[in-house]
Amino acid sequence: MNTNNRWLLPEGVDEILPPKAILLEQICRKIIDLYTTWGYEFVIPPMVEYLESLLTATGEDLDLQTYKITDQISGRLMGVRADITPQVARIDAHLMKQDTPTRLCYLGSVLHSRSDSFGDSRSPLQLGAELFGHAGVSSDIEIVKLMLATLNSLEIDNICIDIGHIGIFRSLISESKLTPEKEMEVFEIVKRKAKDELKKFYKKLKINDNSSKALLDLVDLHGDVSILEDATKSIAKFFPEVKKHINEIKAVSESIADEPNLSINVDLAELRGYNYHTGMIYTAYVLDQGKGVAFGGRYDDIGRAFGRARPATGFSADVKQLLELHNCEKVKITRIFAPSDSDPALKKKIKDLREQGKIVVQELEGQKHTAVEMNCSLSLIHENNDWIIKDNKK
């Protein structure tokens, strides 16, 4: 590398500078405190783990996103985490070993080998909450409400939540009697919501059963919560399992219907995380933003590889992204400038101020910079045998 470019960071890797960094830290503290009030216990997983632990039951996408390195001690392949969720699942399955529902939360940096889309960060600061050990819809409701509480705590407005259910497509495709290869073709078509292409697919194979009709209807089943009634009439009448899944979506949407400044969208053909999620999936958007700001869903039995399969549901978000959407007033940091002076009274004054949480920047011996140049709006001035604080503008 050219010595003139040593300051460059890799593409998609960023850093946060003052004063934004302190605001980010305050946001993180606020959110973790919020999760604590809901009964979620904070865990700090390691940045690297053996690869087989990181990629357990997570599908190919996470494998591609994970940087691989060789452990110089054991010779085994390790990965730099691209997602903290599998680590938290390992902690629940192998270390916590509770029979009661376990609530865990986390915050930490992750690293992606490639960006999800153009301009995205490859080094998100991931936060999340996971609920293990309960298979009912009430745990999905709790997680969705906590996700919304996270955004509301940062005064992020105009939120839209998009709700789907992986189980609906799985139930319908399992009834289709197609080969695995053909099932994957249907999956890709439904994922694109290409209804005409799906019609041609079934026509070519001369398939006209209830499953194919339901999958054709599924492509159009997205919109407000009223489409759940349409889904019950069109596809659920032949498939009891689908009706159960629709009722689960209905229960979640009804539980958050009174949330202020929230719109609810339902998309029964949404297949995000198909190889990972097992049930409900949900994404929070800000209406004037083109991408999601928080993602969640059910991923039952992820702990099976660690010897303890448990129901699980949770969500995660990138705090750096939330910081950009944060509607609170810009943080104002007041700094007090103290001169370089050995006066015991000054030393005591500085000590007292710092114990009160005030920021005091003391001049170094020989320093020639002014208080304003040191980004201090206030100064300690010796006046009438006392050290008092004065505004530098006066």
Per residue in 58-117, pLDDT (tens digit) is 567 888 899 999 999 999 999 999 999 999 999 998 777 788 999 999 999 999 998 876
Cβ-count burial 176-191 (b if 16+ within 10 Å, e if not): bebeeeeeebbbebbe
Written as one letter, the residue type at 215 is L
Note whether 125 and 254 are within 8 A (CB).
no
- What structural domains and CATH numbers belong to the chain? 10-156+292-333 (3.30.930.10), 159-287 (3.30.930.10), 335-391 (no CATH)
Say whether pLDDT at 281 is over 90. Answer: yes
Per residue in 152-179, pLDDT (tens digit) is 999 998 999 999 999 999 999 999 889 9
Tallying the residues shown for the chain, one arrives at 394
The pTM (predicted TM-score) of the whole model is 0.91
* Strand, helix or coil for residue 102: strand
In the chain, how many H helices and how many E strands?
13, 16
Neighbours of 349 (CB within 10 A): 20
Cβ-count burial 233-272 (b if 16+ within 10 Å, e if not): ebbbeebeebbebbebbbebbebbeebeebebbbbbbbbb
pLDDT at 151: 96
Closest CA to 341 of 322, 367, 313: 367
68: its two tokens:
């691989």
CA 228 to chain centre: 27
Note whether 392 and 376 are within 8 A (CB).
yes
Q: Which residues contact 359 (CB under 8 A, 6 or more apart)?
A: 333, 334, 335, 336
Closest CA to 313 of 104, 43, 59, 87: 104
pLDDT at 327: 66
204: its two tokens:
């070519």
Per residue in 223-252, pLDDT (tens digit) is 999 999 999 999 988 899 999 999 999 999
Distance from C-alpha of 360 to C-alpha of 378, rounded to nearest angstrom: 9
Distance from C-alpha of 283 to C-alpha of 266, rounded to nearest angstrom: 10
310: its two tokens:
């448990």
Distance from C-alpha of 187 to C-alpha of 193, rounded to nearest angstrom: 10
